[in-house]
Structure 1
Amino acid sequence: MTPVNTVARRPDQDRCADIPDLVERAARLLPEQAPLQTFVHHNTLHAFEHLPFDDAVVGAARLFGAEPFPSEAAFSAFLDSGRIRPEDLEAVTEPVGDGGDVPLVPGGPTLRRFHALRLQHLFEVPRGPALSWLLHETDQRARFAARLGARRRTELLEQARRDWAGPVSPEPDARALQGQLLGRLWDRLQRAVPRVRDTGHPPPRPRDRILAVTAADTDELVHPLLIRLSAAFLDQGIAYWPMPERERGFLRAFRRLYGRAGGPPDRFLRGLAPELRRQEAESWTAERTVAWALTELAVPGRDRAAAIQATLLSLRGWAGMMRQFEQRPDRAPVEARPARLIDYLAVQLTLDLYAARYTVAEHLGGHAKVADLVRPLCPDGEPAAPARPDLELVYEAFVLAQVMPVDTAVFADAGHATAWLAAVMSCDALERRRLLHLAYERRHRVGVLDALAAHQRVAPWPTPRPLFQAVFCIDEREESLRRHLEEHDPRAETFGCAGFFGVAMTYQGLDEVRARPLCPVGVTPRHLVVEEPVSTARPGPRTVSHRRGAWSRLVAVGSRTLVRASVLTLGLGLAYVVVLAGRCLLPLAFHRWSRRFGHGAAARPVTRLAIERVPAAEHGDGPLRGYSVPEMADLVSAVLRTAGLARSLCPLVLVVGHGSSSLNNPHESAHDCGATGGGRGGPNARAFAAMANHPGVRASLRGQGVDIPENTWFLGAYHDTCDDSMTYYDDDLTPERCRPAMERAKAAMAAACVLAAHERCRRFEAAPSGLRPGRALTHVATRTVDLGQPRPEYGHATNAACVVGRRSRTRGLFLDRRAFLVSYDPVGDPEGDLLAGLLLAVGPVCAGINLEYYFSHVDPVGYGCGTKLPHNIAGLLGVMDGHASDLRTGLPWQMVEIHEPVRLLLVVEAEPERLTAILRAHSGLNRLVVNGWIQLVAWNPGSGAMHLFRHDAFRPYIPETTGFPAVDRSAQFYAGRRGHLGCAHVVAASETAAPAARIQGRA
């Protein structure tokens, strides 16, 4: 008997009850890439972090059709060049099980030795038709492998003579011996090889089943339309005509647009309009629409989750952007759209259904239904495909038996042949690439850790008290600038801090239309900081800027209309030809001329940041306007104490944010500061300096035990990592007593920028190898404004390590712009509280940068966005290939082509016990370390001993090398060299350091 208070449910309501949960589960696999303006690096496989790294990359590769590791061909080149050494291969091939050290066959190698030898003998195993042709059309089975050495060839011929079964007189020649030996070897291995079957499993998407039967791809009908709809809905002001009624959501806008009388023009959508009108009249939800479409597509209930996942992943770039607008509308470049992923799925499945109906009707006739075609490809009761020998495995084992130290006669025993084949299977292509990647990472890890250990024998050098200090972002691109600054002026001391400097704010500059967050992605800013002119009596520059913006909008909008576009094309065509020629032929000169022409005689007004919150702004809606004095004091205290600045402040402290500026570069924000959410860190540096100079803040800090001397002044600055220029903020406020130190710091920084540009130029093929430092700055400035330059800078393309500790540990060590340098003073953190907070920020951020570069390099098409050449910007959201494609995620090849895909090596100046306690207390960081997404090393602050985290515990690390090169200046080490370099001691960072020759002798 039904209870009185029970409401009857329709069957379709029961069918759609689990739809939201299935969509949420599938959404975890979608890219988390934000729109271009707020592009922030993240782990491409964020949804797999709960798995060990090796398992994750293999599983994701199968799901996304991508590559898990670099190719065998790439590793072969590394073996030939010495980038991977035999000792690395021996180290990564650990014993497997109890029989790992027992010979596979009598007189043969052990399994561990077999793996190490297999990694040294890399060759291509033909597949499918290629192998069939090789076996039937060539004499491959009757002659020795081409890679056979002379000694091994002699051994095999002796084996052949011993086992010769033909007439002994006359003595058989070498060709006959080869033929008989290899023929027997092939037959014995083929008899022992396991047989395989071709099993069929019905794919979850109806599209895939239809494609398998009819060879007609319904995605070719659906995707172009879905791409246009998604781009129009999410558009951020590029389109002249906005999508009608998009404020009501994607599904409602689709129904209104395609439900109009007359129907859509596409042939495959006949009959869609009345269906959409019916659904609109009956107020169908997105969940009901999804359930209806899956039912009509004959997707059984058990396959619903897989079908939804596969459908969303078929255009995962656009689906991921819908998800971003749904979860993070604050990251929209101009205006957030009411996007919902389930609406997007409902539209896609509706289009899939009509495309499937159309395709079925075209191939089976007008009365056929989708269910007639969408069926398992290998249903129960149908005879299975006949078993066949795995000839690819036979061929691989056949070649290996020739090149490895084994007597081929032992394979007459079927058990020995089976054991040999099993060993070959255990080191298949995927396992080889995994082991080779471990060896590749090991060689880099050994180079860095040995250099850090050796450097301690000559550091810290006795340096005088610094005259000024500079706090930089931890960004590895700043490593060279810091090093050159200390080389040029040994009285300088540098520190590394996350580039938002603790100031998590929403910021609006003087010329910016709307405010944007400048803080890590995971932080929601509560404070608004606005840049304001000191005097409003001179509005000229702002007026000029507004006029220029109004003119640009007039041209942009007019070019999209019929009449005005014709007039503008005729009237401005020649002018734009001149502009295009100037930007391409004389980019730097044209840029300087256009700036003078555009800005005219009007100078930018003097501005200040409205940093302090007035009492009237204490309450109200929206973010708090400015910071209170206690809030500012807490921010300044945290940075000074963590970095170790609180105990010894100089009269001048530079706070240097960074960013990048380049022309015609959609991924420009990917070169900006990740700590500011893909923004530029100059405003954060300026805000921090203003806070540290605030008298009230200093008074509050004294109460916390942090005393900033009265004669200390903080100066905010901004470093453009693309053209290596410096901008200083509020330097007119610098007290007279600090001006000599400020001028010295500016001069030293200018010289360091020249040297940093010179070091960067060695990686650019367009820059001459003998380029002088003065010309290097011009070269990088030209790349910045060159319209046709696909590589304005390489960004994080060399990142590989992160060192958390005192600068004295790394000062004077050449790290090739490959290390994030994070300042941390363990002496001032006896309980480890500061270290825990620091690692929770640094670990995921640096790992995210490192892993996105890893995956974009390993598979530039599957995980990256391919080459820049066909890219077009879509709606200020992302890039497409050509005029219509999936929204490409990841990094372009031009950003990652020189990258070495190794996992981040995180070296922390702390005891293993302290790091173990931090990992146990924080599951997110523990997951990254235990599952191997980053490599963690504990560097004891007292003894200098190192411990590498492996197999769930810290284990002692013993350096392999004690000698390293020493040079007087960095340029002597990298001069004339293009590729990645190792580490070296640079002695110019100390006025009292010993000469390079003397240090080299000590090493």
Structure 2
Amino acid sequence: MNSVLTLNKTLHVEKKLNELDLNVNELVETASSVIVPLGPITAFAARHPWAGMEHQTFEKTARFLKNIGDVDIYPNESLIKSGLEHGEIKEEFLEIGLEKWLDDQNLALSRDVAKEYCLAALRGDKPSTESISIAELKNWAMKLNRFKPKMTEKHLVQTYSQLLENQERTTVAKVLNSHMIKWCKLYLDSQAVWSMPNRKEGFYSAWKGLVKHDPALKPTVRERLSNIPDEADRALEEVLLRLEIPFTDIQEYLEAHLLALPGWAGMMLWRTEQSDEDRTLLIEYLAVRLWLEWAIIKPYLPLQQQKQANQMTLEPLIAKWIQWGDMPIESWAQLSGTEIKARLTLAYRFDNILRNRLWLEAWEKTYEDDLKKLISSNVNHEAERKNQSALVQLAFCIDVRSEPFRRKLEASGPFATLGTAGFFGLPIETCKLGSEHRHPSLPVMFKPQMQVKEISREPELEPFQQRLGAVHASSSTFKGMKHHVLAGLMLPEISGPWLTFQTLARSIVPRRAGAAFRKVRENWLRKPAAELTLNIGQSDTELSIGFTEKEKVTYARQALKMMGLTENFAPLVVICGHGSHSTNNPYASSLDCGACGGASSEFNARVLAALCNLKEVRQALAMEGIIIPQDTIFIAAEHVTSTDELRFIYVPELSEKAREAFEQIQTVLPKVREEVSAERLMQLPNIGYKGEHPTLEAERFAEDWSEVRPEWGLARNAAFIIGKRELTKECQLEGRAFLHNYNWQKDNNGTILANIIKGPATVTQWINLQYYASTVAPHYYGSGNKRTQTVTSGIGVMQGNSSDLLPGLPWQSVMTSDHELYHIPLRLLVVIQAPKEYIEKLLKQDHTFHQKVYNGWIRLASIDDDGNWVSWS
């Protein structure tokens, strides 16, 4: 009998599937816009978590996330209070924002009454002393019910497991998440000695084969999962029907499941983008998750998604008028029906999300006003003339950490600095000598076009490779022994003396120990001299090696134009990549170059400097009007942001003038480094540091393996300024601004500005909103406390041993302490030095940027050469 019922049910489902003809690929692709790809933490790439939702306003996204997962993405009252206490919010801007909002409301209510109520709500005035009983509130709510304001109908966008859990009938949502975390860890673990059986067949197939043996599931649940479809897409279609999800709600239902664990789902999405073999991985993830949900909640089915339509009672609205409107409850009887409805409507619309939005906008306007005053007083044409006679020109990444270094360096002598994206416009994949690892060294939204490798023709190459192989083999052996049952018992005795010595050294004298261990390794490896594969060649990958002759000229020209260096060349031009150094830090790559996908940009700097030194490239550029003097030499350096030093990594044979310039800059760098470290270290919560020996202290921070905050990274970033260097040269920007050189007078058709907006502006916005999200929602979009994190499966971090794969920055990257804010959560302000017509043209031609500005994902201002400031948002 049971077999007959099962057969009938299967036939019924098959019939409905054929009738419905679901396109699950399209549904899943659309639903995935609520999450973003999450790559491995070893190549931490900045992504803002709402990149797929920019077609709607920031406020609408905030309401959606509050509704679906109770996640707040506006600063909460605690953060706003911190901003007020530090004088970062001027209430005059709050009132301006409120007046603008009230202008759009069209309420049949006195403007003074409405404004007074709203200001009291914004300031969180204390409750009225009038004592009102719940019974009395309910009585008045019944009397005023016919004046209930029109409320927006909205779906309660939750999964069935979440609905059941919210009804306090079960903990199925937590149980479902714990099972998904377990299976994702098994499948994605890149370090496991025993990998998941049948892993090569795909996530869904491997899970399907193992789940029937899972002792953590009840026998009845395993039985329900015993006869499910073999193909993931078909399985997803069938389980949606078994759950009886209405067709119009399917996309929202899938979105809710993706947002239940956005980190693990994001890792699956990232994998789908990396190779064709994994292109269905997100569908497989959802198929596994929904089948598990169906099997666990089967006894509670059928359920129906409920709507929150006109379910709000009036008691909270009446109470708000008592609290913030200083309105005794009896006074409602003296009002006309029109005014009653207007007051209730105002209380309904002026909710917590709107209040926090107005506070955020006032915070942002305060920063913009301060920046406007600082920049407008600094239109300095004398600085421009000084730049033209510079002895050394140094091109830095736009990274906010470059700003203090550039400022100190320019003050120390005849040196001019320029700002440009840290990958220098080179769409390359890099591979260093002796390494099999290839890294895309460009922003993650782009794909590499060619590969550049380090090669050596020295006789020492083979011995070096043997020594390097020995290092890798010993490391591999150590890891293997840790995971082997018998070998693991012997490992402490074998490794104990060395590890004890290393532990003591790194704990007692971390700076000296780190330097000594590094020096021993370098001296033993003795890396031979290496050159770059700049010329076109064959490759064992899809990418060709090196550049064609035309590409060499194209990328050199593009890089020089982007940084605004096409004339008045100094004898020495330094292309400065940047990276960071820290010890025992899972987030080390987050401190490297965001424009190079979480790696140092020193490799890109070397490539560009080498291209610009090529005779044939210079001859081709000269024919286009970019004349590089014969005695001008390009060299490459790396700005190490955690120790504030500038390391020269590529110095070819120098001309006499270039050698003099090189010697002069070397003499000032120690002092510049000390001054930058002194300024930076005073911002770190360093107990016991009194401002002495800043260089040594910076090195200690980088080498100390107990230090949870080796540097602040890009915390407090707030603006991206696109313009001439003299616009900001004399400004103390506190390391909060990305700086990109741009001269609108040399950009007749707006192409350079369009490219800056398309690439660097997008990178800086993603960085900005990642820091923002990690501050306002640290346990959802951040990664919580560093001290309690677990590095998981070699790909990311969790809190404890069973949590979501955490996508953002740790608490220590945005907070000075558990209760003191460091990063200020402001959306990025883009300031462009150009006439109004340039900005109008940009907004008209670039729909994506226009959308970012007018939907509140980015803020925009412009300033012309006379200092006139225009706010576009």
**Could you state the TM-score of these two structures normalised by the residue count of structure 1?**
0.79
Shift of 1:570: 3.2
Q: Paired residue for 2:487?
A: 564
Deviation by residue 1:672-707 (Cα, 9 ceiling, x = unmatched)? 111112221000000000000011111111122211
| Amino acid of the structure 2 residue aligned with 1:62 | N
Residue 831 (structure 1) aligned with residue 836 (structure 2): no
Q: Superposition pairs for residues 729-744 of structure 1, below 5 Å?
A: 729-744=649-664
Query: Of the candidates 343, 360, 366, which is equivalent to residue 284 of structure 2?
Result: 343
Partner-residue secondary structure (3-state), 1:436: helix
Query: Of the candidates 682, 698, 702, which is equivalent to residue 780 of structure 1?
Result: 698
CA change 1:704–1:273 in 2 (3 A) is: farther
CA change 1:64–1:844 in 2 (3 A) is: farther
Residue 467 (structure 1) aligned with residue 386 (structure 2): no
Query: Of the candidates 300, 303, 306, which is equivalent to residue 374 of structure 1?
Result: 303
Partner-residue secondary structure (3-state), 2:697: helix
Whole-angstrom distance in 1 between the partners of 2:658 and 2:511 = 35
Shift of 1:429: 2.2
| Amino acid of the structure 1 residue aligned with 2:130 | R
Q: Paired residue for 1:168?
A: none
Partner-residue secondary structure (3-state), 1:463: helix
Q: Paired residue for 1:694?
A: 614
**Residue 72 of structure 1 contacts residue 122 of structure 1 at CA under 8 Å; is this kept in 2?**
no
Partner-residue secondary structure (3-state), 2:625: coil
Query: Of the candidates 220, 236, 246, which is equivalent to residue 290 of structure 1?
Result: 236
Residue 315 (structure 1) aligned with residue 275 (structure 2): no
- Answer with 285-294 or 72-81: which moved more: 72-81
**Residue 380 of structure 2 contacts residue 727 of structure 2 at CA under 8 Å; is this kept in 1?**
no
Query: Of the candidates 565, 583, 586, which is equivalent to residue 663 of structure 1?
Result: 583
CA change 1:546–1:669 in 2 (3 A) is: same
Query: Of the candidates 363, 377, 386, which is equivalent to residue 440 of structure 1?
Result: 363
Q: Superposition pairs for residues 991-1002 of structure 1, below 5 Å?
A: none
**Residue 510 of structure 1 contacts residue 533 of structure 1 at CA under 8 Å; is this kept in 2?**
yes
| Amino acid of the structure 2 residue aligned with 1:503 | L
| Amino acid of the structure 2 residue aligned with 1:463 | K
Residue 591 (structure 1) aligned with residue 501 (structure 2): no
Structure 2 portions without partners, runs of 5+? 1-13, 816-821
Shift of 1:650: 0.5
Q: Paired residue for 2:321?
A: 397
- Answer with 207-216 or 505-514: which moved more: 207-216
Q: Paired residue for 1:325?
A: 271
**Residue 541 of structure 1 contacts residue 599 of structure 1 at CA under 8 Å; is this kept in 2?**
no
Shift of 1:745: 2.0
Q: Paired residue for 2:162?
A: 208
Query: Of the candidates 527, 535, 540, which is equivalent to residue 604 of structure 1?
Result: 527
**Residue 393 of structure 1 contacts residue 424 of structure 1 at CA under 8 Å; is this kept in 2?**
yes
**Residue 579 of structure 2 contacts residue 641 of structure 2 at CA under 8 Å; is this kept in 1?**
yes
Whole-angstrom distance in 1 between the partners of 2:442 and 2:599 = 8
Q: Superposition pairs for residues 33-432 of structure 1, below 5 Å?
A: 33-95=38-100, 104=109, 109-112=112-115, 114-116=117-119, 118-119=121-122, 121-123=123-125, 140-141=129-130, 205-211=159-165, 215-236=169-190, 238-258=191-211, 263-270=213-220, 272=222, 276=226, 279=228, 284-329=230-275, 340-357=281-298, 360=299, 370-371=300-301, 374=303, 389-390=314-315, 392-402=316-326, 413-415=334-336, 419-432=342-355
Whole-angstrom distance in 1 between the partners of 2:283 and 2:141 = 54
CA change 1:613–1:319 in 2 (3 A) is: same
| Amino acid of the structure 1 residue aligned with 2:270 | Q
Partner-residue secondary structure (3-state), 2:67: helix
Shift of 1:441: 0.8
Whole-angstrom distance in 1 between the partners of 2:449 and 2:289 = 38
Deviation by residue 1:304-361 (Cα, 9 ceiling, x = unmatched)? 333333223222211111111011249xxxxx8676111111222222233224xx3x
Q: Superposition pairs for residues 697-708 of structure 1, below 5 Å?
A: 697-708=617-628
Whole-angstrom distance in 1 between the partners of 2:16 and 2:341 = 56
CA change 1:704–1:909 in 2 (3 A) is: same
CA change 1:829–1:544 in 2 (3 A) is: same
Q: Paired residue for 1:847?
A: 765
Whole-angstrom distance in 2 between the partners of 1:535 and 1:393 = 80
Whole-angstrom distance in 1 between the partners of 2:57 and 2:308 = 36
Whole-angstrom distance in 2 between the partners of 1:508 and 1:877 = 21
Shift of 1:495: 0.3
Q: Paired residue for 1:153?
A: none
Whole-angstrom distance in 2 between the partners of 1:741 and 1:16 = 71
Whole-angstrom distance in 2 between the partners of 1:833 and 1:473 = 20
Shift of 1:266: 3.1
Partner-residue secondary structure (3-state), 2:715: coil
**Residue 101 of structure 1 contacts residue 110 of structure 1 at CA under 8 Å; is this kept in 2?**
no
Whole-angstrom distance in 1 between the partners of 2:232 and 2:456 = 50
Q: Paired residue for 2:3?
A: none
CA change 1:591–1:697 in 2 (3 A) is: same
Residue 896 (structure 1) aligned with residue 846 (structure 2): no
| Amino acid of the structure 2 residue aligned with 1:849 | I
Partner-residue secondary structure (3-state), 1:803: strand
Alpha-carbon RMSD: 3.4
CA change 1:446–1:521 in 2 (3 A) is: same
CA change 1:601–1:855 in 2 (3 A) is: closer
Deviation by residue 1:869-898 (Cα, 9 ceiling, x = unmatched)? 221122222111111211111221111221
Shift of 1:574: 4.8
Shift of 1:519: 1.1
| Amino acid of the structure 1 residue aligned with 2:568 | S
Whole-angstrom distance in 2 between the partners of 1:322 and 1:201 = 27
Shift of 1:461: 7.5
Q: Superposition pairs for residues 381-780 of structure 1, below 5 Å?
A: 389-390=314-315, 392-402=316-326, 413-415=334-336, 419-456=342-379, 460=383, 463=386, 465-489=389-413, 491-537=414-460, 539-613=462-536, 617=538, 622-766=542-686, 770-772=690-692, 775-780=693-698
Whole-angstrom distance in 2 between the partners of 1:252 and 1:343 = 9
Query: Of the candidates 910, 921, 936, which is equivalent to residue 845 of structure 2?
Result: 921
Residue 789 (structure 1) aligned with residue 707 (structure 2): yes
Shift of 1:833: 2.1
Q: Paired residue for 2:7?
A: none
| Amino acid of the structure 1 residue aligned with 2:831 | V
Whole-angstrom distance in 2 between the partners of 1:305 and 1:833 = 39
**Residue 593 of structure 2 contacts residue 599 of structure 2 at CA under 8 Å; is this kept in 1?**
yes
Partner-residue secondary structure (3-state), 1:869: helix
Q: Paired residue for 1:134?
A: none
| Amino acid of the structure 2 residue aligned with 1:224 | S
CA change 1:10–1:89 in 2 (3 A) is: closer
Identical amino acids, percent of aligned pairs: 26
**Residue 642 of structure 2 contacts residue 698 of structure 2 at CA under 8 Å; is this kept in 1?**
yes
| Amino acid of the structure 2 residue aligned with 1:232 | L
**Could you state the TM-score of these two structures normalised by the residue count of structure 2?**
0.90
CA change 1:679–1:192 in 2 (3 A) is: same
- Answer with 833-842 or 906-915: which moved more: 833-842
Partner-residue secondary structure (3-state), 2:684: coil
**Residue 400 of structure 2 contacts residue 717 of structure 2 at CA under 8 Å; is this kept in 1?**
yes
Partner-residue secondary structure (3-state), 2:396: strand
**Residue 107 of structure 2 contacts residue 342 of structure 2 at CA under 8 Å; is this kept in 1?**
no
Q: Superposition pairs for residues 939-950 of structure 1, below 5 Å?
A: 939-941=863-865, 943-950=866-873
Whole-angstrom distance in 1 between the partners of 2:240 and 2:158 = 11
CA change 1:258–1:703 in 2 (3 A) is: same
**Residue 460 of structure 2 contacts residue 528 of structure 2 at CA under 8 Å; is this kept in 1?**
no
Whole-angstrom distance in 1 between the partners of 2:403 and 2:582 = 21
Whole-angstrom distance in 2 between the partners of 1:219 and 1:861 = 18
Whole-angstrom distance in 2 between the partners of 1:300 and 1:100 = 35
Shift of 1:903: 1.4
Deviation by residue 1:42-97 (Cα, 9 ceiling, x = unmatched)? 22111220112222333233333211311123323433543222322222122556
